[in-house]
């Protein structure tokens, strides 16, 4: 059995900031997720003493905190390097080259999955979908997007990070350290939210097509006002046409056709009076 490690006392500033977070929420235990991110920003991982502190402040058990910390993959129980490099290996990114990128970086950095380089700079991990399929294959550095990567560009990326060069995300700010990013996730802004573009042409293509064809969401009065008083009837009809073209019937027709009323059921499938 491994010897018990005395981690010592937590940073007093960490404790003070941990106590600030629950006040943001109607129910204090809702603060647990950002509190764990704050622990990581100070400790470099979720430590036992960090778990105990969160439990004490929230009035729950350490087992409950540990259950959350081990459920979500963004919480780490081993030290993370200055830059967490996550390579998407889910379906689309994989077939577009994500698997090749991951294999190249493992060889180049001489690490395996969820391991950190000897210099403490890079932690490499294959991750599930980053919701950026329109820019596949995608790599994330401390949760900032690096789009349309190749094995060559990803190799240059990690080399630049290790050498201390300034790196900027494709659709976001310059890359900070992992601990700094964790502090932002804890709800302590770094004032970089508006630095760099928030979206790119691939993400906005659907919006551009909708504008060209005059499509509007049914009942979207705000868009009519913004566009100078577009006829609401035409806007609603275009929205219905758009839904039908995608194989979706308007909600009213769907409910009528389902026979929910004749069965004494509401739209959620519950019987009347239940």
Pair of tokens at residue 22: 């629950």
Across the chain, where does the E strand assignment appear?
83-88, 115-116, 122-127, 139-141, 144-146
Distances (CA, A) of 172 to 85, 143, 194, 200, 232: 16, 10, 8, 10, 36
Angle in degrees, 0-180, between the axes of helices 99-109 and 151-162, rounded to the nearest 10: 40
Q: How far is CA 27 from the centre of its chain?
A: 23
Q: CB of 171 within 8 A of CB of 147?
A: yes
Of 76, 205, 80, 85, the C-alpha closest to 144 is: 85
What structural domains does the chain harbor?
12-71 (1.10.10), 83-177 (3.40.30.10), 214-253 (no CATH)
Q: What pLDDT does 202 receive?
A: 85
The per-residue pLDDT for range 133-159, each reduced to its tens digit, is 999 999 999 999 999 999 999 999 999
**What's the Cα-to-Cα distance from 133 to each of 81, 98, 253, rounded to whole Å?**
26, 11, 33
- pLDDT tens digits, one per residue of 91-121: 999 999 999 999 999 999 999 999 999 999 9
Q: For residues 87 and 140, what is the distance between their CA atoms, to the nearest angstrom?
A: 7
* Residues of the chain with confidence (pLDDT) below 70: 1-8, 220-274
- For residue 269, which phi and psi values (nearest 5 degrees)? 90, 10
- Residue 178, H or E segment: helix 178-185
CA–CA separation, 9 and 34 (whole Å): 20
What is the reported pLDDT for 192? 80
pTM, two decimal places? 0.73
Alpha-carbon span 5 to 49, nearest angstrom? 10
Task: Give pLDDT, residue 253.
Answer: 40
């Amino acid at each position: 059995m491994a010897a018990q490690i005395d981690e010592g006392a937590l940073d007093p500033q960490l404790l003070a900031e941990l106590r600030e977070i629950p006040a943001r929420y109607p129910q204090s235990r809702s603060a647990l997720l950002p509190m764990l991110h704050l622990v990581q920003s100070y400790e470099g991982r979720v430590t036992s003493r960090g778990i105990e502190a969160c439990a004490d402040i929230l009035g729950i058990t350490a087992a409950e905190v540990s259950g959350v910390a081990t459920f979500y993959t963004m919480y780490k129980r081993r030290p993370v390097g200055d830059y967490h490099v996550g390579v998407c290996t889910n379906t689309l990114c994989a077939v577009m080259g994500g698997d090749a990128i991951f294999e190249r970086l493992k060889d180049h950095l001489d690490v395996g999955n969820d391991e950190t380089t000897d210099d403490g700079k890079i932690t490499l991990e294959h991750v599930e979908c980053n919701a950026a399929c329109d820019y596949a294959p995608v790599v994330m550095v401390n949760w900032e997007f690096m789009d349309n990567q190749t094995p060559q560009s990803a190799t240059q990326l990690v080399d630049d990070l290790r050498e201390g060069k300034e790196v900027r995300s494709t659709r976001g700010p310059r890359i900070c350290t992992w601990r700094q990013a964790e502090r932002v996730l804890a709800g302590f802004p770094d004032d970089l939210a508006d630095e760099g573009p928030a979206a790119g042409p691939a993400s906005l293509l659907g919006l551009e097509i909708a504008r060209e064809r005059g499509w509007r969401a049914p009942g979207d009065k705000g868009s009519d006002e913004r566009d100078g008083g577009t006829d609401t009837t035409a806007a609603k009809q275009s929205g219905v046409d758009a839904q039908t073209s995608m194989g979706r019937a308007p909600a009213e027709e769907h409910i009528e056709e389902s026979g929910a009323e004749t069965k004494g059921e509401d739209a959620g499938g519950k019987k009347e009076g239940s």
